[in-house]
Structure 1
């Protein structure tokens, strides 16, 4: 609720800014501001376009920047009513000369700075985050990535070493590993898929598994291995070179990295050219600001993949 209120306040400030700017225009809003734009309402002769309504929905976090908004939907009607209200409030504020108040001028200037800054960032990012750049960074990082061997295996976890030996004997007589896993395994995570662990590199496994599977060969039955909850018999299904993360899976992280990288580069250049003076000094012992938690430190394709990511592959 607080976020929505803040967004509405910003929307009103922007509407005020637009209203102020409009005072010098002679109804120059008859042409669509964007290709394919459609007029959906008029307030005292001023046109409201579908793009205005979508922008309000994005500002309130109700849709993403690139998501469509159906003009026949209830959400569109709600957002259009809010844009109309903003236009009316802005016009009345101008009539009362609130836009001449020094505090209002500062807030309008701040809103203008924010809008122009956001537009510059959007344009800068759109130039950087292209399909060509995404693929280029992905391919570059794949060349640099170090790949180790990965294993696909199945397991049956039982309570005691004696139980494991009994299962081993049954396997020796031709019993199905998958059926025995479903019937006897104590591991709830893998029991009902025939004990399948998927593909993994041994370094992400518990120590006992890592040691036992270090030089494993395809088709080998290993164990019993002492593990949490008992003893495991592990059958190696396949051994192969570690597979790269697919481009589609890496894309969101690459886009985020390119975005941060380009914005950081832009700000560094602007600060280098500008004369910036801090008029207050940091307090003694104050901590330096840290980057956002989701700010990528390096191109994601070059980073070690997590156990969760590996387990998702097959």
Structure 2
């Protein structure tokens, strides 16, 4: 549903832009962007590579800045849609639909949205730079608290007696991994030798936290009761929690910088403007929540 809505919005904006362009009397033959290539002409009006890419982005078919091969099937499909948009816009002008008052208001709204989007893109481009991304990442790494991680393996048995029997086999030199694969009843870990990977104890059930709190590397702890039986756990490593990499943090940082800059821009614009709201909200009506990716407080990405 969201993708369809986005695509519909993109088509409306594209048609509106096409109507405005038609009203100016043509698109001209000069490339609108450096290196742009003409890919079609519709009644003498040129369609450029950038027109097709912009439509593909509007439909969510590619991301902003991603390449789109002119020889690809996707490019041809979107090109056909751009051609259709120009034909529809031209026919609408012939029928003088652009003179209708409702159409004028819709065109004006589309123009406002396009210009607003262009301003946002311009402002965000200044904010979301590699230096700003790296700077915020390094700042957050300095403030981040790193917990201790444990890497461990486990064998889960049905009863305490079964667990004690396996513990004796381990003490006699049996392989922990082999016994985990052979006897553990924990389906999530038995087939990889009981490997739990690295974890912090706060994400594990309390029984693990208690048992592993003071365990040394190489030590086998247990058996202790867990939800599915009795566990034997071997501690294989302890280390400080590894920091998130820049590339993993990049999308969140970009969102934060984007929202932060747009919020500052809107606060300044609203501070200068005279805004009168002529409708009153209903009493007790819930307020719209902020976007999920929007930071709650300036200075820390959430």
Q: Fold match, TM over 0.5? A: yes
> What SS does structure 2 have at the residue aligned with 1:188?
coil
Q: Which deviates further from its counterpart, 276-285 or 38-47?
A: 38-47
Alpha-carbon contact 2:295-2:301 (below 8 Å) kept: no
Question: What's 2:11 paired with?
Answer: 8
Query: Against the structure 1 CA distance between its residues 97 and 18, is the aligned structure 2 distance closer, same or farther, given a 3 Å change threshold?
Result: same
Q: Deviations over 1:89-148 (max 9, x none)?
A: 222322333222221111111111111111111111121111111111111011011112
Q: Distance in 2 between matches of 1:127 and 1:227?
A: 53
Q: Distance in 2 between matches of 1:192 and 1:131?
A: 43
Q: Distance in 1 between matches of 2:60 and 2:31?
A: 24
The answer as to 2:218 corresponding to 1:231 is: no
Question: What's 2:265 paired with?
Answer: 266
The alignment's C-alpha RMSD in Å is 1.9
The answer as to 2:90 corresponding to 1:87 is: no
For residues 105-144 of structure 1, the aligned pairs below 5 Å read 105-144=104-143
> What SS does structure 2 have at the residue aligned with 1:236?
strand
TM-score, normalised to structure 1, is: 0.90
Q: Deviations over 1:3-22 (max 9, x none)?
A: 344432332122112222x2
Deviation at 1:181, TM superposition (A): 0.6
Question: What's 2:251 paired with?
Answer: 252
Question: What's 2:277 paired with?
Answer: 278
TM-score, normalised to structure 2, is: 0.93
Q: Distance in 2 between matches of 1:192 and 1:119?
A: 54
Q: Deviations over 1:143-201 (max 9, x none)?
A: 01111221111111111111111111001111111111111111111111111111111
The answer as to 2:192 corresponding to 1:193 is: yes
Query: Against the structure 1 CA distance between its residues 17 and 121, is the aligned structure 2 distance closer, same or farther, given a 3 Å change threshold?
Result: same
Question: What's 2:208 paired with?
Answer: 209
Q: Deviations over 1:58-112 (max 9, x none)?
A: 2122222222222122222222122122222222322333222221111111111
For residues 28-67 of structure 1, the aligned pairs below 5 Å read 29-67=28-66
5+ unaligned residues in a row in structure 1: which ranges?
Answer: 304-314
- Report the number of matched residues: 299
> What SS does structure 1 have at the residue aligned with 2:33?
coil
Question: What's 1:102 paired with?
Answer: 101
Query: Against the structure 1 CA distance between its residues 195 and 298, is the aligned structure 2 distance closer, same or farther, given a 3 Å change threshold?
Result: farther
Q: Deviations over 1:220-261 (max 9, x none)?
A: 111011101101101111111121111111111111111111
Q: Distance in 2 between matches of 1:194 and 1:159?
A: 17
Question: What's 1:310 paired with?
Answer: none
